[in-house]
Structure 1
Amino acid sequence: MLKEGTALKLHELLDANARFDLAARGTTNHCPMALVALAEMGASPARLQEFFDMWEREYALSAPPVGTIIDRREWASHLGNTAAFGALRLCFLDWMADDDPDMVIATVLKEVPFAPATGAFHALIRLAYGIEAAHRGEIAAGLAALISSHLPIDVSFAERPAAESADAAFVHVACAMGDDLAQGNSITARLRAVAGDVRFRRAILAPPVTSSLLDDIARAAIAAYWRTPDFTVLHTVTAAHAARTLFARLDDSLVEPLLPGLWVALCAAYATVRKPLDVEAITPDIDAGWNEVCQRAMVSNDDHVIKMTYTCLCENRREPSPLYLASAARAVGMG
């Protein structure tokens, strides 16, 4: 649990973040996600303010005025309408003033196809961090991002063989794409290209039969990232953790139909990586502990370093693996 002063400062800054657009200079708005990760790792209120000020100065774009009102019964008609982000955020925020946030989240996820690849997985991650911070504005923003930038990857698993494991499935789709580089200058553009590529659509396997698909995915993601520290692969690690946070708030009856969407999105991410994901890697031997690694992350202004370190910390607490500490240490420049 956060200290009272830290929690108050975090919510103050998350409130202030509402004046920033979904996009940022050369990237997306990572500020709220990084703030939550910093706070959870133990950053002081002063450090949170310092990061926020840096982001506003160097990356933030002002949110455009919201000129329309979206009724809560009509939000689904704005699926894929990027210009509707601000109005959707206000719609979901207003909705949560009357109903529990978990109910709103569940209702939205039941009504439209789950698209975790949206915004290069950042919509899912932002929603999860909003849930973790118990901040309705950020929950609303995460939902609005999922809807307004909706990137579904529709694949049927009928008559497809099941993968032996998540790791094997990821390697399989990556190899099936050959040596051609995925077209696009961003993760999202490359995901779109792969989603429509016949090689990917032929190669993707059904999820493995396992007692916990999400655990299998998380293990495969960190193993792949340790072997191949690719920027896209990093996002599969943080996305798997975000999915865990989200799914923990939902009934099992809703989680089950969401898992295939997560599976397809992650397979597509690996299909964009033209690197040997199945090479043998040296077992990590890191001469550092979590406290030192987190301290390094907390003074970093790199939002991906901050989120990756926090993700590794959380996943290691749940299922310890030397790969989490090693990957986090490498991210902060210690490995």
Structure 2
Amino acid sequence: MALSPRTEPDTVDELLVEVRLFSAEFPVLLANHLPMIIVALDRLGASSERLREYFETYRTTNGLVPTPPPVAPIQRDRWTDALGDRTREYDYRAFFEAEVRRIGIDSAIQTYLPTLIPGIGASATHGMMRTAYGLMRMDPTEVGTALGYWSTTYLSMPRATGATPTTDDPGQVLARACGLADLHQIEAETDLLWHNIRAAGEKPDFAPVVDWLEIGPDTGRRLAATSLALFAATMDFSALHALTGSHWIRLIGPHLDEADRPALQRYFWQIIASLVPKIGFPSLPSAEQLDEWRHLPAPGWPEIAAVATQSDDEHDISLVFSAREEEAVYGDRLYRVVAARRMGLIA
């Protein structure tokens, strides 16, 4: 199918209106990626026909369900009372859509997101994903919906205490987390990603992890580089969320007050550290190994994007889009290599 430079905006907007009729999760407690993937497909060059085809395939294959019915309005002065209550999805979405209309996108982000950041594992970080995609388009309804999604699926994890950090290297945080005895005894309720995150957060040994990373001006780049190395070494589903998540926090950060940006990085990396058991307690590759992979033959982004837009796997599309966007910022060719490998274009 031929690719167009961009889908006409009306198609994307039309489909986003329709997808907001559905819950942000589908049975059983799986993240509904459809609104974000519609945008990613558009940015990768998919035609309007392909977007509509993907919409129908995703909707029917995953059995998307309507947003739960309203329970009671969320009150502005007590808006945190129901955090993490999935029965309140309609109420939180309605509240935040109204707040974004009332005070604007950036003011809503600056007012409410600092409280939500410690629960960044919400729906396995997909509340963060939807927020990032809404901000990428500066779409007020999507931003409001995303904040509601983050709130209703808020995931409590150990809080930062202000203890002295132990390293400015995100890779060292992962390596040290791999050595925690408690993380070798994880018994998650199910194999859901957020259940694994929650199980790690409940282990006493894991509590200090959130304080380990020293945040500085270069932390965003180092998180992205470590996430890329982690995914290149493992090609693991959970590690994929480190790479894409680094993209999402990069999109969200500029909309926060400067003082609140370090928390976004800190709590995001706590979530990635919580996933080391699920990834298999990985070791990061050497600089020499990364450089060898970086120089592997790989097709260009147009070819990778063309293959990705024909995939029905939301994680293929998400990964390729984020990798392309991150390479454009950081200039690391390894993003193209891992995207090509994910799409089966190279071994």
Q: Deviations over 1:119-164 (max 9, x none)?
A: 1111100111111122222212211121111113224454444225
Q: For residues 113 and 221 of structure 1, do their structure 2 counterparts lie closer, same or farther at Cα, with a shift above 3 Å needed?
A: closer
Whole-Å separation in 1 of the counterparts to 2:328 and 2:336? 11
Deviation, structure 1 residue 232: 0.9
Aligned to 2:20: 18
Structure 1 equivalent of residue 55 of structure 2? 52
Counterpart among 295, 298, 301 of residue 312 in structure 2: 301
Match of 1:103 in 2: 107
Q: Secondary structure at the match of 2:315?
A: helix
User: Alignment partner of 2:255: what SS?
Assistant: coil
TM alignment of 1:122-141, pairs within 5 A: 122-141=126-145
CA 1:4–1:240 in 2, change beyond 3 Å: closer, same or farther? closer
Q: For residues 322 and 272 of structure 1, what CA distance do their matches in structure 2 show? A: 27
Per-residue CA deviations over 1:218-261 (Å, capped at 9, x if unaligned) read 11001010001111111111111111101122221222343332
Q: Is 2:262 the counterpart of 1:256?
A: yes
Q: Do the aligned partners of 2:229 and 2:284 also contact (CA within 8 Å) in 1?
A: no
CA distance in structure 2 between the aligned counterparts of 1:80 and 1:203, rounded to whole angstroms: 22
Give, as a single letter, the amino acid of the residue that structure 1 aligns with 2:318.
K
Could you say which residue in structure 2 is the equivalent of 1:214? Answer: 220
**Pairing of 1:120-199 with structure 2 (within 5 A):** 120-156=124-160, 158-177=162-181, 179-180=184-185, 182-183=187-188, 184-199=190-205
Quote the residue 2:44 is aligned against: 41
Shift in CA distance, 333/269, structure 1 to aligned 2, threshold 3 Å: same
Name the amino acid aligned to 2:18. Answer: A
Residue in 1 that maps onto 2:271: 265
CA deviations 1:145-200 (Å, max 9, x no partner) are: 21111113224454444225111211221233465455341111111111111332
Q: Number of aligned pairs?
A: 334
- Which residue of 1 is the match for residue 321 of structure 2? 310
- For 1:123 and 1:186, the matched residues in 2 are separated by 15
Relative to structure 1, the CA distance from residue 166 to residue 58 in structure 2 (aligned partners, 3 Å threshold; closer, same or farther) is: same
Match of 1:21, SS state, is coil
User: How far has the Cα of 1:210 moved from its partner?
Assistant: 3.9
More moved, 187-196 vs 129-138: 129-138
130-139 or 106-115, larger mean C-alpha shift: 106-115
Give SS of 1:78's match: coil
- Consecutive unaligned residues of structure 1, counting only runs of 5 or more, are none
The CA distance in 2 between the partners of 1:207 and 1:151, in whole Å, is 21
Q: Which amino acid aligns with 2:279?
A: V
In structure 1, C-alpha distance between the alignment counterparts of 2:246 and 2:309, rounded to whole Å:
22
Q: Partner of 1:87 in structure 2?
A: 91
Equivalence for 2:300: 289
Task: Show the counterpart of 1:31.
Answer: 34
SS at match of 1:248: helix
Query: How far apart in 2 are the matches of 1:216 and 1:303?
Result: 26
TM-score (norm 2): 0.88
Per-residue CA deviations over 1:71-92 (Å, capped at 9, x if unaligned) read 4443222211111111111111
Partner of 1:224: 230
Structure 2 residues not aligned, in runs of 5+:
none
Q: Distance in 1 between matches of 2:21 and 2:297?
A: 41
Mean CA deviation greater in 25-34 or 300-309: 25-34
Moved more, 239-248 or 17-26: 17-26
CA distance in 1, matches of 2:263, 2:70: 34
**Counterpart position of 2:253:** 247
Q: Secondary structure at the match of 2:24?
A: strand
- RMSD of Structure 2 on Structure 1 (CA): 2.3
Instruction: Look up the SS of the partner of 1:265 in the other structure.
Output: helix
User: In the superposition, relative to structure 1, how do residues 113 and 48 fare at CA in structure 2: closer, same or farther (>3 Å)?
Assistant: closer
Q: What CA deviation, in whole Å up to 9, does each residue of 1:251-289 have, x standing for no partner?
A: 212223433322322222335432433345462203311
